[in-house]
Amino acid sequence: MGIETKGSEIKEDRMKKILITGGAGFIGSHVVRLFVNKYPEYQIFNLDKLTYAGNLRNIEDIESNQNYSFLKADISDRGKVEELFEIHKFDFVIHLAAESHVDRSIKNPLEFLNTNIVGTVNLLDACRNSWNHENGKHLFYHVSTDEVFGSLSDQGFFIESTPYDPQSPYSASKAGSDHFVRAYGNTYGLPFVISNCSNNYGPNQFPEKLIPLFINNIKNNRPLPVYGKGDNVRDWLYVVDHARAIDMIFHGSAHGKTYNIGGFNEWKNLDLIKVLCDLMDEKLGRSKGESQNLIEFVTDRSGHDFRYAIDASMIKKELGWEPSLQFEEGLSKTIDWYLSNDEWLKEVTSGEYLNYYKNHYGAEA
Ligand code: NAD
Ligand code: DAU
């Protein structure tokens, strides 16, 4: 029983218009796909600015579905956001649009403030102005990150009540947006939920993030730039499992709640990279150990958070969610996706990416 029952009990109420922001990006595209396919009675609107990280190819398999529409817009454009709410009268928002890469936030913090904080406040205001908060028919679901909690030593876990302690411009902007969401709940009675998730990996992730960047570099026999000594720790979750968690929270959570989502899957970067290299060797028919020779230790990320680790027992206990894939299985599926989507990879690693790579790593991509 559990969540599926809850979902169908409230289905009548939620057969409505859902705005998903950032649905052309990595996680957003998996969330849009899940909602469009699983809930044909819902109308799904995907709002995205199509920054370097947004790619309509990520969702081309569902773009002609009857219950799906795409809206190109920038959430930091207040007038545009208001106009879209007036036209479409969205009842629910699942908000994923964000600048999401820590290294870019170190170079250009203002862009993160504009999208992640101003953009979120624009959406909150549009909801506040167009919703009747008393009727229980609305929800602002804010998708956030475990990075708001700061950095752990080699002990302990983040729980839902861990105090915020963001350390990078990216995590500060996400923490700011989380605070605004809760403030709108407290001050204006805006119905909201927030989830804070650990590192995602899987198909469609832009190759600036560790796993797809290294898959692409291994494939092309390019150096693998490991920051510092490679001893930082991350907790990895397959992206489809994150989308499943968002579905369960959207349909099953009480308003005003926060859930932590994580993979119960901590890896030291260097250990993960070695597993990735070995899997790639197998798949590319290289001799074992060949790709590990590409590892290069480079200057550490400034202010590099040492460890993230999520205690996801609350969502498991209350909503019955847990990851469905073992890490090696997820990693293998991810590599297979990148190897069989060569055109996608080539397209996103051309143009602006080449400048980004050269500028950031001081080398050709
Ligand atoms: P992503 O960078 O792959 O995609 C972000 C999407 O937002 C892109 O499609 C981009 O075009 C769009 N976007 C950016 N600025 C916009 C703007 N001003 N207006 C409208 N659209 C805009 O990001 P992702 O990794 O898919 O992350 C999605 C969300 O999940 C973010 O809020 C992120 O903070 C959060 N999150 C990510 C992870 C992770 O490991 N990637 C983990 C936890 C939480
Ligand atoms: O924890 C959730 C967060 O995970 C999300 O909120 C962010 O949007 C997402 O980008 C991710 O942040 P990280 O900084 O942890 O991810 P990234 O893939 O950039 O880096 C993962 C680890 O790998 C980190 O310790 C830095 C290291 N790294 C990364 C890159 C890009 C390297 O050693 N070399 C690299 O070239």
Query: One of 91, 99, 125, 147 is an active-site residue; which one?
Result: 147
Is 125 a known active-site residue?
Answer: no
Residue type, 11: K
In short, whether 100's Cβ falls inside 6 Å of ligand 1 is yes
285-318: pLDDT as tens digits: 999 999 999 999 999 999 999 999 999 999 999 9
Q: 29 alpha carbon to ligand 1 midpoint, in Å?
A: 10
Q: 215 alpha carbon to ligand 2 midpoint, in Å?
A: 14
Q: Distance from CA of residue 321 to its chain's centroid?
A: 17
Query: One of 141, 170, 238, 338 is an active-site residue; which one?
Result: 170
Q: pLDDT by residue for the chain (365 residues), tens digit each?
A: 222 333 344 445 546 899 999 999 999 999 999 999 999 999 999 999 999 999 999 999 999 999 999 999 999 999 999 999 999 999 999 999 999 999 999 999 999 999 999 999 999 999 999 998 667 789 999 999 999 999 999 999 999 999 999 999 999 999 999 999 999 999 999 999 999 999 999 999 999 999 999 999 999 999 999 999 999 999 999 999 999 999 999 999 999 999 999 999 999 999 999 999 999 999 999 999 999 999 999 999 999 999 999 999 999 999 999 999 999 999 999 999 999 999 999 999 999 999 999 999 998 88
Is 170 a known active-site residue?
Answer: yes
In short, whether 203's Cβ falls inside 6 Å of ligand 1 is no
The Cα 11–Cα 22 span in angstroms is 24
β-partners of residue 152 are 307
Question: Which residue's CA is minimally distant from atom 8 of ligand 2?
Answer: 100
Q: What is the pLDDT of residue 13?
A: 52
Distances (CA, A) of 5 to 2, 89, 91, 208: 6, 28, 22, 40
Q: 42 alpha carbon to ligand 1 midpoint, in Å?
A: 23
Is 99 a known active-site residue?
Answer: no
Question: Which residue's CA is minimally distant from atom 6 of ligand 2?
Answer: 145
Q: What is the 3-state secondary structure (H, E, C) of 172-199?
A: HHHHHHHHHHHHHHHHHCCCEEEEEECE
Q: Which domains does the chain have, with CATH numbers?
A: 12-202+236-267+304-326 (3.40.50.720)
In short, whether 357's Cβ falls inside 6 Å of ligand 2 is no
**DSSP string computed for 301-331:** PTT---B--B--HHHHHHH-----S-HHHHH
Q: 48 alpha carbon to ligand 1 midpoint, in Å?
A: 10
186-210: pLDDT as tens digits: 999 999 999 999 999 999 999 999 9
Distances (CA, A) of 186 to 84, 180, 183, 307: 25, 10, 5, 32
Q: Give the closest residue to 144 by CA, choosing from 61, 42, 246, 277.
A: 246
The pTM for the full model equals 0.96
The Cα 90–Cα 207 span in angstroms is 33
What is the H or E stretch that residue 79 is in? helix 78-88
What is the sign, positive or negative, of the torsion defined by CA atoms of 115, 116, 117, 119?
positive
- Listed as own residue / partner, the contacts of 152-159 with beta carbons closer than 8 Å and 24 or more positions apart are 152/306, 152/307, 152/308, 152/309, 153/306, 153/307, 154/233, 154/306, 154/307, 156/309, 157/309, 157/310, 157/311, 158/196, 158/260, 158/262, 158/308, 158/309, 158/310, 158/311, 159/260, 159/311, 159/314
